[in-house]
Amino acid sequence: MRRPGPLVATLRLSAAAVAIAWSVFPIAMVVLSSFKPQRDIFAIPPSLVFAPTLDNYRRLLAEWPAFFPNMLNSLIVTVGATLLTILLSTLAGYVYARCRGRVLALSAFFMVVVRMLPPIVVTLPLFPLFSWLRLNDTHLVLVLLYAAFFVSLSTWIMRAFIDQVPRELEEAAVVDGAGLVQVLRLVVLPLVLNGIVASSLFVIVYAWNEFIFALVFTTRIARTTPLVMSEMLSTTDGVDWGVLFAAATVQLAPILAFILAAQRYVIAGLAAGAVKG
Amino acid sequence: MRITRRATLTALALPLAAPALGQTRRFVVISHAVHRNVLTTGPGGDATAEWRRRTGMEIEWLTFGVEAVHERLYREAQLSQGGVDACFMLERYGGPHIAPLFEDLATYQAAEPIERAEEISPSMVAAHTYRGRQVGVPFRHATHGFFQNRALMRERGAEGVPESFEEIIALADRLSFVRSDGSRVAGYAMSLDDPSSLVDVIRAHGGDFITRDYRFVADQPPAVAAVALLRDWYRRGVLPRNVMTFKTEEVITAMQQGRAALTNQPFGRIVNYNDPRASRFPGEITVANIPMMSSVAGQKGALVPAKTSVWAMGIPRNARDKRLAWSFIREMSSPENTIRAAVNGNGPVRPSAYDDPRVRELAPYADLERRVLPTAMLTLPGFEQAGRAMDVFMEEVQRAMLGQAEPAAAMRTAKARIEPLLPT
Amino acid sequence: MSSTDAATRQAATLPTAPRTRRWRAPGGTRPAPVHYALLAPAQMLLVGLILLPAIYVAWMSLQKVSFGADPVFVGLANYRALIADTVFWRAAWNTFLVVNAVVYGELLLGLGLALLVSGWMPFRRVIIALLIAPYAINEVSAVAMWRFVLEPDIGMVSWALVQSGIGQLDWSADPTDALALAALLSIWMHTPFTFLILYAALQGVPQDVREAATVDGANAWQEFRHVILPFILPALLVALMFRYITAMRIFAEVWLLTEGGPARMTEVLAVYLYRTAFRYHEFGLASATAFAMVLLSLAVAAPYLWAAWQRMFRHA
């Protein structure tokens, strides 16, 4: 792209600097605070230059031994929910992209409207039901719930992508003798891989940090990290902010890493598909 | 593609198998992390070791935050088949409406009594007894004391321990100041998300909030005077500027950072305030009993019936093995284990525990706490609408503090709104 | 792909034409049973985990349900209690204000950022990653930090605001300031969502069309309004619709900041719901509140739902 004149360039860069500062500032503070001794975290004036300590991380490991096993649970649930969501929304998105019909239109509308119900109330009838089905405290419960609450958005996104895949390619494959499943697997899927990454981003961030369903439906086996962090907030003798921020930093790191790694696919993907509807 | 599909199917199938894998019998206890900690770790050792050895059971501690414990406990207790064997409950979340979900422990006590059960503070037992049904055996208490920051007092040329609430008011004034570098100190910090801190002030004036027999009395002059004091403090900056959003957490931070000088909190907090890792004033913050208004008590040195909260152990109605659960409760309540837990940082429910040298060594405030224990009172007795009543009360108190209503009028409104919520 | 390009280039010359032309282009197959089979899993998940529980919750909203007692049928009493509760109406009004502030704030900010970053920008990928970061952080930590830097008189940002003459937010006592801050927090946390969608849509605007417009003498505003906007309008609608739905449920930002106080003046519907369900354990009333929220969502999002319906589903 042509570099604009110096004035415009300076303005652009300044605007970008402000935007970055706005985005990153509190996060930087959380991460920095995790390396400060607890009494310095909320000290006024806050010290930007200080001797970092790993004490908070050490205590995180010592006082909350369940933290990392729970993170594994978070990982399992996140991956499971993402895979399920992608699978269902790709299939559904394909149908909405390729077909038209009154019933289809209504069902697509239904997918949006049904999301208006606050997720929290869904726990009221589902807790006794899942208990009875012996599904409480399993990863499956969370995988199903997270997928249910994100399949709508994913379907819309996948629909937009699949719209961009030319029908001629599918028709050519059919002529070559491919069944519908093979068409989907060999023709459509590779071309919408970017869209899949885009959808995944939203689900992953949600599932990784989700709290209410994890609180209600898990106890020990499938407990996820947000629960540990909420317990840190509700101690009887004051919140250990150092440990909490250390936990928050550890919780954030994989997601940031994923975003950094995947965002070129996300952006390229969203662009190629260009959520034009 | 194939690999992905196989992996997906496996990933989906594994969790389904998980419940089958976890079927080995464990003794499930639902509690706050603090109960697990005082019973299993610390200088006093593991109080559960002997019981576990004898019964061959492994204890599974399910810990949650304070509110979440009860929320999960009650939901589990409602199921036809429960997964929880024993629980720890706080009195303020109980009530006659919940009591039927738990076993009446009096029958168990009669059959297999707790060792020297009469030593356990009767008022604490009463806190978990509703309409004659005792649902909990007290295990832990947290009672309020009065904290002062000595360093800040020296800075302002104040000293001594207040012997009347009037002296506290004067001291709070003295300790509200702005330094030359612009940093500000508020004389008094308190939490305003629920009445637990406020009731001490009300009771110091000789009033109360809701009595043990469920009468709302905060519209009486003493309570109104307390609310007026708060309003005055807020206006003059004796309370921190954003005290309206203060929960316990913010009070602790304010004290640790020296942004506030005085407060009323559980005695055990002294550990936080003197922890050099967390506090900027280790060794400088001391605790005493909260004194009454001498104009009300007629003398100096009278103690406020300090706010206390009592955790108790109970057995859900749908527990699998209730006799086993009772043996657990019985063992944890023994005099020896009470002392062990106290050494590990628990507030003991047996006053005799304060005589033990190990406890005295670790809790220098042992005598202070023991002095106020006989008269200590709950924030409010448990009942179904207690949560709503507390929210309404704080709403009216905050309105008075903000100047939207006169304290007397606000308390009259509170009475009108809260009385319909009280059990008949 | 080339056919799309040609169509797009043709379309670009007539600013209003693109909408009609593009919609007619892909015909629709009539769905065959196999298509319904592909659709079924997603629909079943929604029906099973959301719709059926919703029906049960609707039933619960007609009862008085709590711990320790059997449910009692009370008809519309819960709804009557809601209507009579001034706190409910204040919460509804606060929610309405905050949702609109948040959705449009995010729209403007997301669009601004998308335009900024899609123009000339060195280190674009890193910048984008940093701009997305707020979306990933745990709410509690984020709000704790924001509270700290915005603490009146002593927080860094408060201090900066005072120095710059803007004055500070007295968010612990003034409900307007508190709601403004909650909205700001929400915008901070969720703008990445809108930004991502709009940025991607912007990438879809063909470069040659933009350059043609500049050559024709259009200034930046005209270029935006007549060339770019039509291209990104569908994406805009998607983002708006989903954000409206989810923003109605704003909870953590308000709860962690003020818990709805002081004197419940900053309460929003999700906080009201939380109190009713998790503090008071009145599940019938909580269910009624949930449906009130659904109704409000429908009312507020109605114009966008209607627009979406018109655009997407009229072609049966």
The alpha helices in chain C, defined as continuous H runs, are 2-13, 17-24, 33-46, 52-60, 77-84, 86-118, 124-132, 139-149, 156-163, 175-203, 207-215, 220-222, 229-247, 252-258, 269-274, 283-313
Q: Do A263 and C132 touch (CB under 8 A)?
A: yes
Binning pLDDT at 50, 70 and 90, where does residue B10 land?
Answer: low
Binning pLDDT at 50, 70 and 90, where does residue B1 land?
Answer: very low
Q: How far apart are CA A120 and CA A212, in angstroms?
A: 7
Question: In this predicted structure, which of A170-179, B297-306, C6-15 has the lowest mean pLDDT?
Answer: C6-15
Q: How far apart are CA C301 and CA C23, in angstroms?
A: 24
Half-sphere exposure of B356 (CA within 13 A, CB side): 19
pLDDT tens string B42-70: 888 899 999 999 999 999 999 988 888 99
Domain boundaries along the sequence of chain B: 26-142+309-378, 163-306+381-421
Nearest CA in chain B to C178: B245
Nearest to B303 by CA among B294, B311, B312: B294
What's residue C26's pLDDT?
Answer: 42
Binning pLDDT at 50, 70 and 90, where does residue B327 land?
Answer: very high
CATH topology identical between B26-142+309-378 and B163-306+381-421: yes
**Residue C272 φ/ψ, nearest 5 degrees:** -55, -45
What's residue A103's pLDDT?
Answer: 85
Q: At what angle do helices A225-233 and A241-273 cross, to 10 degrees?
A: 140
pLDDT tens string C90-141: 999 999 999 999 999 999 999 999 888 887 888 887 888 788 889 888 888 8
What's residue B103's pLDDT?
Answer: 93
What's residue C164's pLDDT?
Answer: 83
Show the tokens assigned to B198: 């406020």
Half-sphere exposure of A245 (CA within 13 A, CB side): 26
Binning pLDDT at 50, 70 and 90, where does residue C256 land?
Answer: confident
Beta-carbon contacts of B361 under 8 Å, excluding residues fewer than 6 positions away, are none
- Helix/strand number for chain B, H first, E second: 19, 12
Say if residue A202's pLDDT is above 90: no
Binning pLDDT at 50, 70 and 90, where does residue B190 land?
Answer: very high
Q: What number of residues does chain B have?
A: 424
Show the tokens assigned to B371: 């002095």
Better pLDDT: B151 or A195: B151
The alpha helices in B243-385, defined as continuous H runs, are 248-257, 270-273, 294-297, 322-332, 335-343, 357-362, 366-372
What's residue B164's pLDDT?
Answer: 95
C101, A220 Cβ separation under 8 angstroms: no
Q: Kindly write down the DSSP assignment for every residue of B67-121, as one continuous string.
A: HHHHHHHHHHHHSSS---SEEEEEGGG--TTTGGGB--HHHHHHHSPPTTGGGS-
Q: What is the mean pLDDT of chain C?
A: 81
- The residue behind tokens 């947000």 is A226
Say if residue C20's pLDDT is above 70: no
Show the tokens assigned to C204: 């879809």
Domain boundaries along the sequence of chain C: 97-266
Binning pLDDT at 50, 70 and 90, where does residue A270 land?
Answer: low
Q: Do B398 and C68 touch (CB under 8 A)?
A: no
pLDDT tens string B104-122: 999 999 999 999 988 888 8
Say if residue C22's pLDDT is above 90: no
CA separation, residue A43 to residues A50, B109, B250, B254, C226 (Å): 12, 51, 13, 10, 52
Binning pLDDT at 50, 70 and 90, where does residue A48 land?
Answer: confident
Beta-carbon contacts of C209 under 8 Å, excluding residues fewer than 6 positions away, are C8, C9, C12, C227
3-state secondary structure of B359: helix
Q: Do B101 and C67 touch (CB under 8 A)?
A: yes
Q: How far apart are CA B381 and CA B217, in angstroms?
A: 13
β-bridge mates for residue B310, sequence order = B141
- The residue behind tokens 């469920």 is B214
B189, B246 Cβ separation under 8 angstroms: yes
The amino acid at residue C59 is: W
Enter the CATH code of domain B26-142+309-378: 3.40.190.10
- Architecture per CATH, domain C97-266, reads as Orthogonal Bundle (1.10)
What's residue A66's pLDDT?
Answer: 87
Kindly state the percentage of chain C with pLDDT values over 70: 86
B377–chain C Cβ distance below 8 A for any pair: no
Q: Do C279 and B398 touch (CB under 8 A)?
A: no
Nearest CA in chain B to C159: B182
Fold classification of B163-306+381-421 is: D-Maltodextrin-Binding Protein; domain 2 (3.40.190)
What's residue B380's pLDDT?
Answer: 93
Question: In this predicted structure, which of B47-56, C18-27, C82-91 has the lowest mean pLDDT?
Answer: C18-27
Nearest to C198 by CA among A156, A194, A264, A270: A270
197-236 in chain A: CB under 8 A from chain C: 198, 201-202, 205, 208-209, 226, 229-230, 233
Nearest to B402 among C69, C171, C173 (CB): C173
Kindly state the percentage of chain B with pLDDT values over 90: 67
Contacts of C280 in chain A (CB under 8 A): none
Say if residue C17's pLDDT is above 60: no
Beta-carbon contacts of C123 under 8 Å, excluding residues fewer than 6 positions away, are none
Beta-carbon contacts of A100 under 8 Å, excluding residues fewer than 6 positions away, are C27, C28, C29, C30, C31, C315, C316
Binning pLDDT at 50, 70 and 90, where does residue C204 land?
Answer: low
The alpha helices in A99-183, defined as continuous H runs, are 102-113, 119-132, 139-164, 167-175, 180-182
Show the tokens assigned to C124: 């674009």
Mean pLDDT on C157-177: 84
Q: What is the pTM of this model?
A: 0.87
Show the tokens assigned to B184: 């500000």
Contacts of A226 in chain C (CB under 8 A): 138
Nearest CA in chain A to B142: A236
**Residue A185 φ/ψ, nearest 5 degrees:** -70, -40
pLDDT tens string A105-133: 888 888 888 888 888 888 888 988 898 88
Mean pLDDT on C228-236: 76
- List the end-to-end C-alpha distance of chain C, in Å, as a whole number: 25
Say if residue A233's pLDDT is above 50: yes
The ipTM is 0.85
Nearest to B396 by CA among B146, B216, B266: B216
Say if residue A193's pLDDT is above 80: no
What's residue B13's pLDDT?
Answer: 55
Q: Do A220 and B79 touch (CB under 8 A)?
A: no
Q: What is the mean pLDDT of chain A?
A: 85
Q: How far apart are CA B373 and CA B381, in angstroms?
A: 17
3-state secondary structure of A273: helix
Domain boundaries along the sequence of chain A: 58-273
Q: Do C145 and A30 touch (CB under 8 A)?
A: yes
Q: Do A117 and C290 touch (CB under 8 A)?
A: yes
Question: In this predicted structure, which of A144-153, B18-27, B244-253 has the lowest mean pLDDT?
Answer: B18-27
Helix (H) or strand (E) holding B14: helix B2-21
Q: How far apart are CA B22 and CA A223, in angstroms?
A: 14
pLDDT tens string B275-315: 888 899 999 999 999 999 999 988 898 999 999 999 999 99
What's residue A97's pLDDT?
Answer: 85
Fold classification of A58-273 is: MetI-like fold (1.10.3720)
β-bridge mates for residue C72, sequence order = C64
CA separation, residue C271 to residues B131, C146, C249 (Å): 33, 20, 9
B409, B397 Cβ separation under 8 angstroms: no
